[in-house]
């Protein structure tokens, strides 16, 4: 098994363990779900302009629905573990790296969400209470890694679309995947491919995401007012 494959399996096992712990602690699990809903709304507001652009909307929605938010990704991850040995042989290295980064992002984000949920007050989440909890948790290096993974995934997924045979293979696999009980995993891979196939300028998209998220992270950690309000210098070129 390659180093990438070992890392993928490790990410899956750690994510499953954390998800199980949150399921056992129902109160914390519910707080995490509420936090994820709040952050998903924040992201939709931050990228409202890109979501309105036909060339970027599908890619942004893929991030919001398939990589983040109050969604249950466990069926997809169970399918991935079950089919991993076959997929490892069938997928090109570029696709394996995309899966590895996506799973690391999913794991890291859930770890940060759980820590943040513990630091939040029990009442409704608001910008001020979120910012206070964000600073209390800290973990600036992990937040930086989170941004690196998001930006890297945007670039890697765009790179995959240059291999037309991958898209054809994913489309042909729909029926067999459903029969084999791998429909969630196949759908995830195909949606990611199709979402980024239509991005005309992936470098601009990645640079815009990085600039906005790093600015928001800095403002939150520094305790600045209106951390989610960005000026015109953060508009997409």
For 205-221, the DSSP string reads HHHHHHHHHHHHHHHHH
DSSP states along 31-73: HHHHHHHHHHHHHHHHTHHHHTSHHHHHHHHHIIIIISSS---
Greatest mean pLDDT among 42-46, 86-90, 154-158, 159-163:
42-46
Range of the domain at 22: 3-234
pLDDT one-digit tens code per residue, 25-76: 999 999 999 999 999 999 999 999 999 988 889 888 888 887 776 667 777 7
SS3 198: coil
State the greatest distance between any 2 C-alpha atoms of the chain, in Å, as a whole number: 53
**Count of domains forming the chain:** 1
Q: How far is residue 93's CA from residue 114's CA, in Å, rounded to a whole number? A: 32
Sign of CA dihedral 202, 187, 21, 83: negative
Q: Which one, of 177, 146, 149, lies nearest residue 80 by Cα? A: 177
Lowest mean pLDDT among 11-20, 169-178, 182-191: 169-178
Integer angstrom CA distances of residue 6 from 2, 15, 91, 99, 119: 6, 14, 15, 12, 33
Distances in Å between the alpha carbon of 24 and those of 18, 27, 29, 76, 151? 10, 9, 8, 21, 33
Please work out, in degrees rounded to the nearest 5, the angle formed at the alpha carbon of residue 188 by the alpha carbons of 161 and 206: 50
pLDDT digits (tens, 9 = 90+) for 84-100: 676 667 667 777 788 88
CA-closest candidate to residue 75, choices 15, 152, 156? 15
Q: What is the pTM of this model?
A: 0.86
pLDDT at 215: 94
- Highest mean pLDDT, choosing among 105-114, 151-160, 178-187: 105-114
Structure tokens at 99: 């899966």
Mean pLDDT of the chain: 83
CA 27, 28, 32, 38: dihedral to nearest 10 degrees?
Answer: 60
Q: Is 211 exposed, middle or buried (0-12, 13-18, 19+ CB in 10 A)?
A: middle
pLDDT of residue 96: 78
């Amino acid at each position: 098994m390659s180093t990438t494959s070992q890392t993928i399996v490790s990410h899956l096992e750690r994510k499953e363990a954390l998800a199980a712990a949150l399921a056992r602690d129902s109160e914390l699990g519910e707080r995490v779900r509420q936090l994820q809903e709040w952050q998903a709304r924040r992201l939709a507001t931050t990228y409202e302009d890109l979501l309105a652009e036909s060339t970027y909307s599908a890619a942004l929605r893929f991030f919001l629905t398939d990589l983040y938010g109050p969604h249950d990704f466990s069926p997809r991850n169970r399918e991935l573990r079950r089919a991993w040995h076959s997929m490892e042989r069938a997928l090109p290295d570029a696709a394996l790296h995309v899966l590895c980064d996506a799973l690391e992002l999913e794991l890291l984000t859930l770890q940060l969400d759980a820590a943040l949920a513990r630091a939040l007050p029990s009442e409704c989440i608001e910008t001020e209470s979120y910012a206070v909890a964000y600073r209390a948790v800290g973990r600036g290096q992990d937040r930086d890694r989170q941004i690196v993974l998001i930006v890297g995934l945007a670039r890697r997924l765009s790179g995959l679309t240059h291999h037309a045979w991958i898209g054809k293979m994913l489309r042909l696999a729909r029926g067999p995947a459903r029969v084999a009980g791998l429909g969630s995993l196949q759908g995830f891979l195909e949606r990611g491919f199709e979402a980024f196939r239509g991005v005309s300028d992936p470098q601009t998209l990645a640079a815009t995401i990085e600039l906005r998220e790093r600015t928001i992270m800095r403002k939150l950690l520094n305790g600045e007012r209106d951390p989610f309000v960005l000026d015109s210098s953060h508009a997409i070129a």
